[in-house]
Structure 1
């Protein structure tokens, strides 16, 4: 079984794992292309490849047309000899995806989160979906490499615990040992990761990006999220610190007692609060403001309200300032920006890019994207994170 092979850390097996990892990374690839990447003789590499083929871990992909002589055989991993589960838990929705070993999505199921969705209900639902996938595709526990979970909020990643949920509608989520609860019925490797970190890893690995200094921003919903890769490695970032990054020392008053915090320019609450301040005729109570969503902002924009458009463009400008601060710090070469306003209001995205380019240093190589994995980036990234722990 592939799982036992990847868990075997003996020096002899490490050679086989190194070849397997390189084939996974560069496939389709020939023996001649593999040789410069690993310190093995031609005969040893041939023997290793033969054993990997015999065990069903890799497969022959075809031949490479080089225009002369006998065409070399290309090798690829067998992507269906094991599987991965990725889960994304947010305030409003839970998504569960089943991936093969090339990170192709085999299946997916999602459900909304309400005030009735306590940990017991949600985790039972996740177990049911997982078992349904396993039955549908005839996957055994040995063939399931693990479950990666991306979540908003404050996490204890070492122990797989959601310490403080990110504004969940149900109040029972504090200190929930997610990995332990799932592991009782699904005894596989289970790991927890912050949503933006998982998302940026997913985009990087799935697209095989040539850029390995990537910044991933989520903005416009219930707060801010940021994940960063530097030289292909995830960096831990304090999300709470990001929300209260000062982008205007004389700016709007924040709930933390300071002025000009980034969150005061980007949350739906603060955007509508600014609208009521500038247009007193709009009578919205503070209690109502505390429960608003980005949909209210979008409705004003659809109606052609010039004042809310002005406020939203200010939000985009200051979001760009905040992003550029982090991009300068990590020397990011690609910035992926996600969020409701980014995806539904093109002027917002364009203004953010303009602001970042104005404030970032050495921006001649900077690239912008809204990502290719869309809403599944975090779930796919969490599953990939599990796989990476086997390959590293």
Structure 2
């Protein structure tokens, strides 16, 4: 993988100034001096250099406080462009962003049996060429591609290691960054999808400046990410799905042969709901089968969603129980990490009106320091676009300045 040495270690003064201007949208020299400990002459020199390098623009004048009207600075939207790629189990997406992280294009596709790693890379490269052509942008202005993918990953080598539940074969030890770089010529960087989603959501919420955040995705599997003081917390292994192995019932079932007994994923996931519905249909017989009109072994998540829309009480009960179990898992994590903001995403969050409210209601009841401490719960600002946005933002943050 290609890594800029210029941005290794502590951010440069220019990077700090640039990021602050980008976060605010516009800023005056006086506002920047209030934020950063440097002399007026040093700030003037840095701003002049950044204008001459076309990193920022002098965009107009702010209101006067008695003297001259201050010059306002903003980032130059044409200085660079970024792609953000999400690789997930059911669907994947590609976003294209300018240097202000404004989305200029989004495309999404299903990850069916035909979507092998090679086919995905070809599809992505073709879409990138089409997007650049549509916007009449030279490929030389693309800074790089951020990739947010289902783990486990080897981020340093840019490899997707061995994710579960992909429809297509071949998603084992995939050198995705090298493949993207060879097909497109753009530098690629890899992060797990949960971390990327959290980075994207924090950027979208930057007006309220949340620094300590928890992200939990409940869908085909359970995935989580944590941020402290605005920085993603990485462990020694990149295992975003570890939250699914949290034991919430010591004598409980397990979802797979390599999973823990009584783990959260056995109660809260698409596969768990399918298995539980199949089991209840076999045991209950007519009560369930008359409603679902299919043999128990053919009950799938899509059918359960249809029954939810028909207000099937049996299926509603399944989803509410899953939401309650998720609430316990959330409370466990909140009591350990004490985030300010908890972002909940994934298919289950949008499956049923009461799923989100039930989960956060149970979590609130089990937060130990309540009411002195109470996190904010949200479905996020970006939702299904969060992973691709956060992946692009990852590259934006390392852009040479």
| TM-score, length of structure 1 as denominator length | 0.89
Distance 1:249 1:63 in 2: 64
Change (3 A) 1:94 1:273: closer
Distance 1:147 1:356 in 2: 37
Write out per-residue CA displacement over residues 186-237 of structure 1, whole angstroms, 9 at most, x where no aligned residue.
3332111111110000000232142111111111x31111111111111236
- For residue 376 of structure 2, the aligned residue among 349, 367, 370 is 367
Write out per-residue CA displacement over residues 319-340 of structure 1, whole angstroms, 9 at most, x where no aligned residue.
0110111122111111111123
- For residue 167 of structure 1, the aligned residue among 165, 168, 182 is 165
SS of residue paired to 2:355: helix
Is 2:209 the counterpart of 1:210?
yes
- Structure 2 residue aligned with 1:279: 284
Write out per-residue CA displacement over residues 90-143 of structure 1, whole angstroms, 9 at most, x where no aligned residue.
112221110011211011222222111111111011011112222232333431
Unaligned runs of 5+ in 1: 1-5
- For residue 98 of structure 1, the aligned residue among 90, 96, 99 is 96
Is 2:160 the counterpart of 1:153?
no
SS of residue paired to 2:331: helix
- Structure 2 residue aligned with 1:383: 392
Change (3 A) 1:71 1:180: same
- Structure 2 residue aligned with 1:118: 116
SS of residue paired to 2:84: strand
Distance 2:355 2:142 in 1: 41
Q: Is the 8 A contact 1:103 1:206 kept in 2?
A: no
- For residue 129 of structure 1, the aligned residue among 127, 136, 139 is 127
Distance 1:170 1:206 in 2: 33
The size of the alignment, in residue pairs, is 383
Unaligned runs of 5+ in 2: none
- Structure 2 residue aligned with 1:222: 220
Q: Shift of the alpha carbon at 1:254?
A: 4.7
Q: Is the 8 A contact 2:323 2:359 kept in 1?
A: yes
Matches for 1:304-343 after TM superposition, within 5 Å? 304-343=311-350
- Structure 1 residue aligned with 2:298: 288
Q: Is the 8 A contact 1:268 1:297 kept in 2?
A: no
| TM-score, length of structure 2 as denominator length | 0.87
- Structure 1 residue aligned with 2:249: 248
Distance 1:272 1:187 in 2: 42
- Structure 2 residue aligned with 1:266: 268
Q: Shift of the alpha carbon at 1:285?
A: 6.5
Distance 1:120 1:9 in 2: 32
Change (3 A) 1:263 1:160: same
Distance 2:115 2:143 in 1: 27
